[in-house]
Every structure is written in structure tokens, then in C-alpha cells.
Amino acid sequence: MGETEAAHVPVMLDRIAELLAPALAAPGAVLVDGTLGLAGHSAALLAAHPGLRLVGVDRDRTALARSERRLAPFGDRVHLAHAVYDEIPRVLDGFGIDRAHGVLLDLGVSSPQLDEAERGFAYSYDAPLDMRMDRTQDRTAADVVNGYSAAELTRVLRDYGEERFAARIAHAIVRERAAAPIASTRRLAELVREAIPAATRRTGGNPAKRTFQALRIEVNAELAILERTLPAAIGRLALGGRIAVLSYHSLEDRITKRALAALSTDTTPPDLPVPLPDRQPELRLLTRGAELPSDEENARNPRAASARLRAAERIRER
């Protein structure tokens, strides 16, 4: 393993392994890791379950290349695909697999994407405004910053960054780019800082954090993809199969909560005397609300601090 892979610490690995274990124990079980990244979770699960097969999906070709090296010891138990995670059904069909026994989604930006300055995800480096998880796609953060109207930028920053000064930041961006395009992460971070009131800048960490999150979500269509992914992935779970989702901000967690709750609820009309068989829940929730990392894990791995874990088991076919 390279230095990056060796240093990578998978978030909430022990709890995810515990939640997925009953579904992955059978010989020939299939795990779909829809956000493979550096394959930390998947490598541990393959090692723990000698009969397990992995379908690893990632939109980032660099991540796939690194994961391929890391997972080489598991040989033909591993199948990798360059795809977005809402394409899980298509990927499974391509490998001739009907059902998965486990699905894992570790959402958000990966450690290598944050750590590689040239990817433009982090405000702590000066780099081109890129933020593409899949570098084969056309639209970059620079296209959004320099091409969206003030109203469109305000919507993105407000809805995806939950930024209360969205309009101020958007108008500052439009004024600045009128003189010259905004091309670097450092210049954007400076603009955001200048646009936010001084009293606010003194608390809450780097003031550019919410703007960078919002632009990343917009560039990669993360929330729209997640909305499509959850029902599609759950639809390919075998009976007794389990799904685990790690979210890193409230928008992702809200979508996950809503999707799992909808499928774990009896929808029989309340005025009927008996439950309708076709309105019974498809899922059984395995977590009470969203589970959080332990204090010990947060101290060991600061990137775990914002993680929220939800999981469910498939108990009925559609």
C-alpha cells in the first residue's frame, strides 16, 4: 500500500462490520460498496468474511486504481466499476448479479480528494477551482462560480451549504468576477471571508467551509444522486440483506432518514381493520436514529466527527 492508503482510517468501521455481518456471513454473499474510495471498509469486510464477493463502485478513477491495488490479494472475489452510485442496478446487471446481501454508502468527499491540493476541494490549499469527483465530467466549481447568476449562486449556497449570508457571498462573487474570473480556491475563500460580517468570522471555524460544501454538492449533484440511489439500491437487496449509510452533514442524513423511514413503515390506511399485506414495511431499522462515532474514535480520526450512521435490513420483497 502507498502512504495515502496506509494512513486512511475508515470511519465507524467496527460498528459497520457489526451491522452488516449477519447478511455477509453466508458463502457467496455479495457486498456493494457504492462509494469505494480507498476501500478501507471493503478490505476489512472481505478479510472478515472469506466467502464474500465485493462489487466496488466509484466515480473517481484515481480512487478505483488505488483500490484495485489494495484489494489485489482478494483476487476474483473483487469486481470494480467506474460509475456513480445511483447506477448500482446497472453495475450489478453488468456483472450478472441479481441480488446484493449488503450495501455500503460512505458519502461525501473522500480523504484523498481532500488531501490532493490539485483537486480543489479544500480551502486550506491554493488550487484551481475544480471539485469534480469524476474528472471525466465537464462542469467544475469554476464554471459554477463564474457562470451562475447571483440568484442561482444564492440558491446553491443557501440550500446546499445552509449559509445564512448566501446572498452577500453571491453578490461579492459576481462583483469580483466582473473584473476577472475567479479561478483559485484561495481567492474564493478570501472573498467569502470578506463578505461575511467580522463578528461572525471570529467563531465557527473557517467561514468558507459552507460555501465549499455547497459548491461541491452542486458540481457533483450529490443530493439528487443520493435521492435516486437509496430506493434503487434497496430494491436490489436480498431478503435479510442490509444497508448502511454514513452521512457527513444534515442534508445527506435527512435524505437517508426519510428514505429508510418510508420503507420501514406500515402504510395501511388507518381506517382499515387489518394490515394490508402489500402495505407492510420492506425494511427493519437497525439503528435508533443516527448513530455517532465514539469520543475515542473522534480523537483518533478527526474526520469522523461529523459522521452519522443509519442502517436497515430488508424484511419484505416489493
**Same domain for 211 and 127:** yes
Task: Answer yes or no: is 252 within a domain.
Answer: yes
Tell me: the pLDDT tens digits for 263-273?
A: 999 888 888 88
Tell me: the pLDDT tens digits for 14-55?
A: 999 999 999 999 889 999 999 999 999 999 999 999 999 999
Q: Known binder of ligand: residue 126?
A: no
Phi, psi dihedral angles at 179 (to 5 degrees): -85, -40
Residue ranges making up the domain that contains 123:
117-220
Write the CA distances from 24 to 81, 104, 153, 198, integer angstroms.
20, 12, 44, 52
Q: Known binder of ligand: residue 14?
A: no
Q: Known binder of ligand: residue 58?
A: yes
Q: Known binder of ligand: residue 113?
A: yes
pTM of the predicted model, to two decimals? 0.90
Q: Known binder of ligand: residue 51?
A: no
Q: Known binder of ligand: residue 271?
A: no
CATH classification of the domain holding 191: 1.10.150.170
Write the CA distances from 177 to 122, 174, 201, 266, integer angstroms.
20, 5, 23, 53
**Same domain for 230 and 185:** no
Tell me: the pLDDT tens digits for 70-127?
A: 999 999 999 999 999 999 999 999 999 999 999 999 997 766 666 665 676 777 778 9
Q: Known binder of ligand: residue 143?
A: no
Q: How many domains does the chain have?
A: 2
Tell me: the pLDDT tens digits for 125-160?
A: 789 999 999 888 999 999 999 999 999 999 999 999
Q: What's the pLDDT band for 201 if we cut at 50, 70, 90? A: confident
CATH classification of the domain holding 13: 3.40.50.150
Q: What's the pLDDT band for 6 if we cut at 50, 70, 90? A: very low
